[in-house]
Amino acid sequence: MPAEISSWPPRWLTPVPEDAIARGSGDLVIDFAEAYGVITKDSVAGKMGQPIQMRDWQKELTRHIFAKTETKSYRQSVNLIGMPRKNGKSSLGSVYALFHLFLGARGGETYSLASEKEQARIVFGDTKKMVEQNPELLSMVKLYKDAIEVPSTGSVYRVRSSEDSSAEGYSPTAIIYDELHTAPNRKLFDVMSLAMGSRPSASLTAITTAGVKVDQTGGESIAYTLYQYGQKIARGEVQDDSFFMAWWESPIEADYKDPKTWQIANPGFGDINSALDFESSVRRTPENEFKTKRLNNFVNAQSAWLPTGVWDKRAVEFELDPDQEYVLGFDGSFSGDATVIVGCTVPKEEAEMPTIFMVRAWEKDEQIHDREWRVNIAEVEQTMLDFVRDNPKCREIACDPYRWQRSMEVLAEKGLPIVEWPSTSPRRMIPATTKFQDAVLDEVLLQDGDPLLARHIDNAVVKTDNLGSRIVKDKRSSQRRIDAAVAAVLAFDRATSGKIEEELIPRVYV
C-alpha cells in the first residue's frame, strides 16, 4: 500500500508558492516516472522489473523540486533532499536523471555526482537499467560504461566523482548528487554548481542521509552547511527562492528505540522499507550510527547544550511594555562572530516566568564573501540608547567587555545602566549556564520565537572540565555562532538575580 499523505510535509520544508508548483513540470515528471521507471532490484517496494508507483509524499516532493518561475525556468537551482537510508533515494535520483536526459533541455548535460565513482554509478546504474528494460527508450540512446547519449537531441548523461582530477569545462543542465554527506570537501559541489551558471534553467538536486558535520578539511561539511542554510529559510530567517530543502528526521531527543520515532523520520516506513528491519538493526547498531542512518540526525561528537526541540516549545507571542522592567544582555564582536543584544523581562512576582526576547543582531552573511564587513559600532550604541529611551524601566545592560570597553564607557556616561559581565569568566558563566538550562528544561522560562536566537541556541555545545560545564562554540566551524545564546544567558542571569548589580560602571542618569 502507498504511504499516506501524512508522510508529507517533512520536518523541515522550505516554502514554495503554489503558483510556482502549478507552473512546474512536477506532474509531467511523475507521469514520466510511472510510465518508464521500473524497480531495478527486488525490495520491500516491489519486484525487479515492476513499474515504479510513486507514493503521495514522493509526488509532493517532486512537484516542489520541479517548480518553475513565470519565465518557465526552474525556481530553485539547488535542492537538498534529506531522508534516512532505504526510503527510495536512489530510485528517485534515477527517475529525475532519466527525465532530464529525455525531456530536459536539448543538448543537455546531466551528471550523477558522488564522493566516489562507485557511489555515483549507483544512481547511474539504476537509470541505465531502466533504459535497457524499455525498448522505446533503448532505441533512442547510445549506451557507454559511464554515459548515456541521446543522439537526436545531443543530450548526454555522465558519471563524475570527487576522485576525478578535474570537473572543469562542463556545462551541466541537471545534477543529481548522491549521498552528499560523504563529500570529502566541497570542491566538486562548488565547481559543478558554478558551472551551471552558463545554463538558463539548470538545477542541482542532492539526495542524502545525514552524516558528519565536519569534512576532511576540518571545516563544516557541505551537507551540514546546506542543511543549516535550509533551516534558516524554513524558519523565515532568510529568504532565498533559489534554494529548496525537504528534510525528514526525528527529534534528536526522541527515544531512538521507539517505532513511533522511526515512523516520524522515515516517509516510507512500513511501505518502501520494512518495520522488521528496524527492529533487527536497532539491536545491533550503535546508537549514533542508528540515529544518523535510520533517523537522519546529524549527531555531534560534542554534547549539545539543550535537547533538540525543548527551546522551540517555550515560544510565545511577545510585545514590549514600557511599564515592564527589563535587563539586556550584550555580546559583541568586531568582524567574525555576531554582535547581539538580547533582553529578558524581570518577573514582577515569584510565579511570573521571565521571557527572553531578541532586540537586535548584527551577523555577517556567510553566503556573501565580504572581507571588509564590520559591525557598525555607532548603530549598536544607538540601539541601546533607543531601547532605554523607549523602555525607561530597563534595569541593567549586562555587557561582555571584550573589545567593547570604550562603547561601554560612552554609554555609561550617557546614563545607561551598563554592567560588566565577562562571559569568559568560568566563575560567572558556569552557574549562569546551569541556571538558564535548568529554567528551559523545567519549563519556567519563555522566549519570543526569534529564529536567529533559536539557531545560536542550537549551535551551543557544552564544555566540561574540572571547573564545571559552560557553553562554548564548536571550534571546528567558524560559522556556528552562539553569540545570541551567550547574550541570553547574561540577560537571564541578571534578570533573575533578585538584586541590582553592585558593580555598575559609574554614570549619571539623564
- Quick: pLDDT tens for 235-254: 999 999 999 999 999 987 78
- Pick the residue with more confidence: 17 or 283? 17
When mean pLDDT is compared across 276-290, 336-350, 421-435, 448-462, the lowest value belongs to 276-290
- Is 424 in contact with 434 (CB distance < 8 Å)? no
- Pick the residue with more confidence: 438 or 30? 30
Considering only the C-alpha atoms of the chain, give the largest distance between any 2 of them, rounded to a whole number of Å.
87
Give the separation between CA 60 and CA 54, rounded to whole angstroms.
10
| Mean pLDDT value of segment 431-439 | 91
Mind listing the pLDDT tens digit for each residue in 83-103? 999 999 989 999 999 999 999
Give the separation between CA 227 and CA 244, rounded to whole angstroms.
10
| Mean pLDDT value of segment 227-238 | 95
Q: Where residue 351 falls among pLDDT bands split at 50, 70, 90?
A: confident
Q: Is the pLDDT of residue 173 over 80?
A: yes
Three-class SS of residue 33?
A: helix
Q: Where residue 502 falls among pLDDT bands split at 50, 70, 90?
A: very low
Residues 6+ apart with CB under 8 A from 137: 36, 98, 102, 130, 131
Q: What is the predicted pLDDT for the residue at 507?
A: 38
Burial code of 442-476, b = ≥16 C-beta within 10 A, e = fewer?
Answer: eeebbbbbbbbbbbbbbbbbebeeeeebbbbbbee
Strands 339-345 and 155-161: unpaired
When mean pLDDT is compared across 234-243, 280-289, 342-351, 363-372, the lowest value belongs to 363-372
For residue 384, which amino acid is it?
M
Q: Is the pLDDT of residue 481 over 80?
A: yes
Instruction: Give Cα 184 to chain centroid, integer Å.
Output: 19
- In three-state form (DSSP H/G/I as H, E/B as E, the rest C), the secondary structure along 170-235 is CCCCEEEEECHHHCCCCHHHHHHHHHHHHCCCCEEEEEECCCCCECCCCCECHHHHHHHHHHHHHC
Give the separation between CA 34 and CA 80, rounded to whole angstroms.
23
Backbone angles phi, psi at 432, to 5 degrees: -70, -40
Q: What is the predicted pLDDT for the residue at 508?
A: 34
Chain position carrying cell 527529534: 251
Domains in the chain with CATH codes: 9-253 (3.40.50.300), 312-495 (3.30.420.240)
Q: Which three cell numbers stand for residue 24?
A: 512546474
Nearest to residue 328, comparing CAs of 485, 488, 482? 488
**Average pLDDT across the chain, whole number:** 88
Residues constituting the chain: 510
When mean pLDDT is compared across 50-54, 109-113, 223-227, 474-478, the lowest value belongs to 474-478
Q: Which three cell numbers stand for residue 408?
A: 561601554
Give the separation between CA 289 and CA 273, rounded to whole angstroms.
18
> Of all residues in the chain, what percent carry a pLDDT higher than 70?
89
- Is 12 in contact with 249 (CB distance < 8 Å)? yes
pTM higher than 0.95, yes or no?
no
Helix and strand counts by DSSP (H, E) for the chain: 16, 17
Q: Where residue 320 falls among pLDDT bands split at 50, 70, 90?
A: very high
Give the separation between CA 207 and CA 217, rounded to whole angstroms.
22
- Is 169 in contact with 158 (CB distance < 8 Å)? no
Q: What is the predicted pLDDT for the residue at 468?
A: 66
Find the helix packing angle between 275-284 and 287-295, rounded to 10°.
150
Three-class SS of residue 114?
A: strand
Strands 78-82 and 203-208: parallel
Three-class SS of residue 383?
A: helix
| Mean pLDDT value of segment 275-297 | 85
Q: What is the predicted pLDDT for the residue at 75?
A: 97
- Is 264 in contact with 250 (CB distance < 8 Å)? yes
- HSE-up of residue 161 (Cα within 13 Å, Cβ side): 17
For residue 225, which amino acid is it?
T
Q: Which three cell numbers stand for residue 370?
A: 565580504
Cα 458 to Cα 81, 307, 310, 398, 503, distances in angstroms:
21, 9, 10, 22, 31
Mind listing the pLDDT tens digit for each residue in 459-472? 888 876 656 678 88
Q: Where residue 2 falls among pLDDT bands split at 50, 70, 90?
A: very low
Nearest to residue 245, comparing CAs of 83, 80, 93, 87? 80
Give the separation between CA 32 and CA 102, rounded to whole angstroms.
10
| Mean pLDDT value of segment 127-150 | 95
| Mean pLDDT value of segment 316-342 | 90
Q: What is the predicted pLDDT for the residue at 19?
A: 98
- Is 129 in contact with 82 (CB distance < 8 Å)? no
Q: What is the DSSP string of 313-330?
A: GGB------TTS-EEEEE
